[in-house]
Amino acid sequence: MTLDTFTIRLATPDDYDAVVDCVQAAFTKWIDIIGMKPMALTADYHDFINRHVIYVIDGHQTGELAGLVIIYPVNDALYVDTIGVNPAYQEHGLGRRLLTFAEEKAREAGLNKMTLVTNALQLSNQEYYRKNGYAETHRETLEPGRVGVWMAKTLATE
């Protein structure tokens, strides 16, 4: 798989099971590291699909997703709620492509800022986002035992 052999499309209700499977594949590894389920594993994906905020990349098998991103505007920014790549498809640039897609959607909406939150114990995620132009803005206890690291990126105006 290369970046030019896939497309990103809006998820439909028929994608629900594949969305849940992709999120479980991408986020289950974090349970032992953070000591609880990541927020992505407890989200309401029916709601996200109905709100038309999940974009997906189809996998090689019918009913399988290679990755997904959930994005929606919050205040003056486009919020990246979840980005996940199925481990079977990692190391092919899909995460970066999904972030780039999100930035394109922000510009289309007239927004020049991206925001997201990741768990303070997900150090590799924080480093990944820093490498992609995000900077930490603050930390916040989201619930007992869960500290969120808020990050933001200002998009260059074109």
- Could you tell me the CATH number of the domain that includes residue 91? 3.40.630.30
* pLDDT score recorded for residue 6: 77
Nearest to 58 by CA among 128, 125, 1: 1
Most confident of 60-64, 142-146, 147-151: 147-151
Number of CB atoms found within 10 A of residue 16's CB: 15
Domain count, the chain: 1
Q: Are 84 and 124 a contacting pair, CB within 8 Å?
A: no
State the average pLDDT for the chain.
Answer: 92
The C-alpha atoms of residue 141 and residue 120 are separated, in whole angstroms, by 10
Count of residues for the chain? 158
The structure's pTM equals: 0.93
Q: Can you read off the two tokens belonging to residue 30?
A: 């974090």
Nearest to 121 by CA among 134, 139, 135, 137: 139
Domain boundaries, position 143: 3-154
